[in-house]
Amino acid sequence: MDVHISFTQFRLDNGLNVLVHRDPALPTVGVNVWYHVGSKNERPGRTGFAHLFEHIMFEGSAHVPEGQFDVLLEGAGGENNGSTDGDRTNYWENVPSGALELALWLEADRMGWLLDTMDQQKLDTQRDVVMNERRQGFENRPYGLAMETLLAAMYPPDHPYHWPTIGSMADLRAATLEDVSAFFRTYYQPANASLAIAGDVSVRRARELVERYFGDIPAGPPIPEVLVPDPALDRDGWGVLEDDVTLPRLYMAWHAPAVYAEGDAELEVLGRILSQGKSARLHRRLVYDERIAQSVSAGTRSGEAGGLFIVQVTARPDVSLDRVQEVVLEELTRVWTDGPDEDEIRRVVAGIETDFVGELERVGGFGGRADRLNEYHVLAGDAGYVRRDLARYRSVDGERVRARAESELGMARRYTLSVVPRDRADLAATGGS
């Protein structure tokens, strides 16, 4: 199977990268904008700004009154959404072909003229929304503080992945109107953005509309360099977090390659071998054979500035996480000693191919062709990376997985976090394993 995405690429004078993929099969178009800014572009004491702007960008701009962004799109039969992570912020619209001009006008207006309507009330309103989101997703959610705790332990305070994308409550409260406005002026500009248009549209028509609506937006200032200190751990570490939970949960984390870097694919395959499906090694051992766990997951959390390999096991009530940790290390040792067998490799790679092709059936939305073109352009440096991306997995074999598991996990330091019910620190994993 030859998987590819045909596209035409051009750049406006202001630096905006544009990718156009024509597919007239259906009268729909996906519009997708990536800004190369995420929480890694923030700094200690000023975190959460990228995610805050994900909300503010929907609250009106110079020519789009507050609340009208969704109204106009939905009135034309479209839908839209956005997301933020450590490396980028993206926004997309799926619209009937006849509404492409509307979607581009809306995106251009908030890129070029959002600050014309930015005021203290809008900042305060969206700040409250984000802080409430943090309460619901972190402070008041079972295991909600685990990942924040893990990131803080795995990365030094000056590393751009030390804090979660949503930021801290203290930083959100302290943010001033000038702080967030300066952040927008720096990062939300054409020269730091990539626009992908996929679906029922010609390159000529797409270029005409993009030049009309985005061409007059100034390029913006140079983007500040992100400094990435070495995050390597100098020793194994263990932490305990008491929470309002019933079941103890174990997190084990190692540093891993960055997204699309050498070894990233092998560790993703390893994660699926360990945890995906009833026959997966950790799932079979912990859930079915020994019956000491409720669920297991393992895999990579890969970013532009580095990655993590994380094993997460939710144990059964009153099960000691020392025993869970022992089993995980036994199974990992088997992998980096003997390697996975070829049946495991074939099963996992077939699943990756299925997921890969399934996402690309869509022209728009999260993971669709427009989104994938932008991802490859921004993070891989090549919008046409799709063939090479799939080839990474097709070339994986048991020895490559074994060697990568040994070098990245077997010979490296790790951090282990136990989340346990309150007053049950006795269930936590210790450094004795």
Q: Which whole number is the average pLDDT over 21-33?
A: 97
Q: What are phi and psi of 190, to 5 degrees?
A: -55, -40
Neighbour count for residue 26 (Cβ, 10 Å): 11
Distance from the Cα of residue 2 to its chain's centroid: 27
Residue 193 has pLDDT above 70, yes or no: yes
The predicted pLDDT at position 3 comes to 87
Q: pLDDT for 325-360, tens place per residue?
A: 999 999 999 999 999 999 999 999 999 999 999 999
Neighbour count for residue 236 (Cβ, 10 Å): 11
- Computed on alpha carbons and rounded to an integer, the radius of gyration of the chain in Å comes to 23
- How many angstroms separate the CA atoms of 17 and 190, rounded? 8
Neighbour count for residue 81 (Cβ, 10 Å): 13
Percentage of the chain surpassing pLDDT 70? 99
3-class secondary structure, 155: coil
Q: What are phi and psi of 76, to 5 degrees?
A: -95, 5
- How many angstroms separate the CA atoms of 61 and 323, rounded? 56
pTM of the prediction? 0.95
List, in sequence order, every residue forming a beta bridge with 308; answer none if it has no partner: 255, 301
| Pairing mode, strands 249-256 and 414-421 | antiparallel
Q: Which whole number is the average pLDDT over 364-378?
A: 97
- How many angstroms separate the CA atoms of 248 and 157, rounded? 28
- How many angstroms separate the CA atoms of 115 and 332, rounded? 52
Q: pLDDT for 205-227, tens place per residue?
A: 999 999 999 999 999 999 999 99
Q: Nearest-CA neighbor of 49 among 230, 199, 185?
A: 185
Strands of the 79-84 sheet, one edge to the other = 8-11, 17-22, 193-199, 28-35, 89-96, 79-84
Domains and CATH numbers, the chain: 8-214 (3.30.830.10), 237-427 (3.30.830.10)
Q: pLDDT for 152-190, tens place per residue?
A: 999 999 999 999 999 999 999 999 999 999 999 999 999
Neighbour count for residue 244 (Cβ, 10 Å): 11
As a whole number, the mean pLDDT across the chain is 96
- How many angstroms separate the CA atoms of 237 and 394, rounded? 35
Q: Which whole number is the average pLDDT over 36-53?
A: 96
